DNA sequence: ATAGCTATTATTGTATACAATATCAATTTC
DNA sequence: GAAATTGATATTGTATACAATAATAGCTAT
């Protein structure tokens, strides 16, 4: 239930700032208000919606400043994953990572951003897992999901796939060389510049303001 | 509501592994099952309880291995706070931090572990805030709270206050010197060694097993 | 006597009804 | 004419009732 609502938030069907009426949602999903309320509470705990007491729930709106902060933390989590992965990755995980990297390359060459988007997610999740710290993997995945709705905007950036892929290449290289510090630095940078691009984009899109406040 | 249940978990009144019966809790708090269910969902999202579908909720039990993982992440978050704090701390925040540090010293000299425990929390929260990344502050605080029930065990460790305080001294020194890398390293180490001690303690306490599985 | 199956009980999950509060509009007063 | 207050309406928060499923215990059969 909450997954379905989360999906609608991630795809922008429920845009940031939109009011989520319990009765409407219940009717929309063909259930009573009870499971809807429970789903909203879950999503609120995950940070995807905000519940204002006695005033209903809205999809969380993240301003450019906060988005920067979140990407700053995401960058650090991914850097940590990379540092651990460089030390702990197994041979079979190495093979899968290289394979995922090559799949990204194919999507770049085919110029298919939507496929690249999906493969990119897989690539990063492989690094989360290769750190062999399950709690860290969970935290990184959770924050990654939370930023999903904003990552959509990435599709607008010019030559995103090209720069992203070459950064990936450097990351893979560092991990395979077991150079934990280099892997950490390159992953951090990879995420931070993304965050800055997103924040700029959000700040420059008056469209979102009309969503948010209108 | 969920705060009250969380408090009972943190204090060990509801020990790890304990089954949380909705009807019992409702009777215990003098409300109906509905707000109890909503509180349990919140706590489950925060990771403090686990809800097994159709099989009720239990207080999350964290084994030594996972505890290590969690402290590994906590160490990294605090290291990041320290790194940012060294760069961004204001003069008034510096004064408050020094003040908090001296308060810890007084508690150590007075040999009052419970007071030191509280002042230590304040000390760390000041560093979270001094990083001037509100999202990071929230994440660090959330994980800190999640580990609260296990931090209680810290009280058993011999000469905890002495070693803790001297580590704090090094951290304060690095932050005031605006040496972000040193602050980062010292904070990470400060947390990691705590995590190892906790994990050892949890592993060596058969008492907890009886709680968990009996 | 033990193992498997069935029936009963207890507990979770969902729906609905009701109460409390916030919002909005209309009316009145300054 | 504008602002404030009061009433009406809609929406959230809580309680309760009912349905569905899992656990348990008892019974039967091998």
pLDDT 10s digits, B119-175: 999 999 999 999 999 999 999 999 999 998 888 777 777 888 999 999 999 999 999
User: Which chain B residues have a beta carbon less than 8 Å from that of A66?
Assistant: 134-135
Q: Is residue B211 over pLDDT 50? A: no
Rg (CA), chain A: 19
Q: What pLDDT, on the 0 to 100 scale, is given for residue B36?
A: 97
Q: Do A69 and B139 touch (CB under 8 A)?
A: no
Q: Is residue B192 over pLDDT 70? A: yes
- B134 vs A: CB within 8 A: yes
Angle made by CA atoms B89, B146, B68, in degrees to the nearest 5: 90
CATH number of A64-203: 1.20.120.530
Q: Is residue A213 over pLDDT 80? A: no
Per-residue model confidence as pLDDT tens digits over A68-81: 999 999 999 999 99
Using CB atoms and an 8 Å cut-off, which of residues 45-74 of chain A contact chain B? 45-46, 66, 69-70, 72-73
Per-residue model confidence as pLDDT tens digits over A85-135: 999 999 999 999 999 999 999 999 999 999 999 999 999 999 999 999 999
Q: Which of residues 24-53 of A touch strand D (CB under 7 A)?
A: 33-34, 37, 51, 53
CA of A144 to C1' of C21 (A): 37
Q: Sheet with A19-20: list strands edge to edge.
A: A19-20, A56-59, A49-52
Per-residue CA distances from B79 to A62, A73, B150 (Å): 25, 12, 20
**What is the secondary structure of A50-77 as a DSSP string?**
EEETTTEEEE----HHHHHHHHHHHHHH
Q: Which of residues 14-73 of B touch strand D (CB under 7 A)?
A: 31-35, 38, 54-55
Span of B62-71, B148-157, B194-203 with lowest mean pLDDT? B148-157
> Quick check: helix, strand or coil at residue B11?
coil
Alpha-carbon dihedral sign for residues A144, B49, A84, B81: positive
Mean pLDDT of A157-180: 94
- B185 vs A: CB within 8 A: no
Q: Do B134 and A66 touch (CB under 8 A)?
A: yes
CA of B55 to C1' of D20 (A): 13
Give domain limits for chain A: 2-61, 64-203
Q: What pLDDT, on the 0 to 100 scale, is given for residue B150?
A: 84
> Quick check: helix, strand or coil at residue A131?
coil
Distance CA B172, CA B94 (A): 9
Pick among 3.30.200.20, 1.10.10.10, 1.10.1740.10, 1.20.120.530: CATH of B64-206: 1.20.120.530
Q: Which nucleotide is nearest to A53 (CA to C1')?
A: D12
Strand C and A34 CB separated by under 7 Å:
yes
Q: What region, left, alpha or beta, does residue A159 occupy, with left being phi > 0 and alpha being psi -120 to 50 degrees?
A: left
Q: What pLDDT, on the 0 to 100 scale, is given for residue B207?
A: 54
User: Which chain A residues have a beta carbon less than 8 Å from that of B70?
Assistant: 135
Per-residue model confidence as pLDDT tens digits over B33-54: 999 999 999 999 999 999 999 9
In terms of Cα–Cα distance, which of B146, B115, B149 is closest to B13? B149
Q: What pLDDT, on the 0 to 100 scale, is given for residue B204?
A: 82
Cβ-nearest to B135 among A41, A44, A70: A70
Question: With pLDDT > 70 as the criterion, what percentage of chain A qualifies?
Answer: 96
Distance CA B183, CA B81 (A): 9
Nucleotides of C under 7 A from a protein CB: 11-17, 21-23
Distance CA A10, CA B67 (A): 32
- Best residue of B48, B62, B69, B137 to probe chain A, by most A CBs closer than 10 Å: B69
- Per-residue pLDDT band at B203 (split at 50, 70, 90): confident
Q: What pLDDT, on the 0 to 100 scale, is given for residue B197?
A: 86
> Quick check: helix, strand or coil at residue B52?
strand
In terms of Cα–Cα distance, which of B160, B38, A208 is closest to B29? B38
Q: Do A133 and B76 touch (CB under 8 A)?
A: no
Q: Is residue A83 over pLDDT 70? A: yes
Q: For all residues of chain B together, what is the average pLDDT?
A: 92
Q: Do domains A2-61 and A64-203 have the same CATH topology?
A: no
Question: With pLDDT > 90 as the criterion, what percentage of chain B qualifies?
Answer: 83
- Per-residue pLDDT band at A207 (split at 50, 70, 90): low
Count of Cβ atoms closer than 10 Å to residue A11 Cβ: 12
Q: What pLDDT, on the 0 to 100 scale, is given for residue A214?
A: 32
Distance CA A205, CA A111 (A): 25
In degrees rounded to 5, what are phi and psi of residue A135? -65, -45
Q: Do B135 and A80 touch (CB under 8 A)?
A: no
- Per-residue pLDDT band at A84 (split at 50, 70, 90): very high
- Give how far the C-alpha of residue A105 lies from the chain's centroid of Cα atoms, to the nearest Å: 20
Q: Is residue A1 over pLDDT 70? A: yes
Is domain A2-61 classified as CATH 3.40.50.300?
Answer: no
- For residue A119, give the DSSP letter: H
């Amino acid at each position: 239930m909450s997954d379905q609502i989360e999906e609608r938030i991630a795809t922008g069907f429920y845009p940031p700032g939109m009011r989520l009426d319990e009765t409407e949602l219940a009717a929309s999903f063909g259930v009573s208000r009870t499971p809807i309320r429970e789903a909203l509470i879950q999503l609120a705990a995950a940070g995807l919606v905000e519940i204002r007491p006695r005033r209903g729930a809205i999809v969380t709106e993240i301003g450019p400043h906060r988005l920067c902060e979140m990407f700053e933390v995401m960058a650090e989590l991914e850097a940590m994953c990379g540092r651990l992965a460089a030390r702990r990755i197994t041979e079979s995980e190495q093979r899968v990572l290289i394979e995922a990297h090559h799949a990204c390359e194919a999507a770049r060459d085919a110029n298919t951003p939507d496929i690249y988007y999906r493969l990119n997610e897989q690539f990063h999740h492989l690094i989360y897992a290769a750190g062999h710290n399950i709690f860290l993997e969970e935290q990184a995945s959770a924050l990654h999901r939370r930023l999903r709705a904003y990552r959509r905007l990435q599709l607008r950036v010019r030559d995103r796939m090209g720069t992203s892929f070459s950064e990936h290449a450097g990351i893979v290289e560092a991990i395979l060389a077991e150079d934990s510090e280099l892997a950490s630095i390159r992953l951090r940078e990879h995420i931070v510049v993304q965050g800055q691009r997103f924040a700029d984009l959000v700040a420059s899109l008056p469209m979102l303001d009309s969503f948010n406040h209108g």
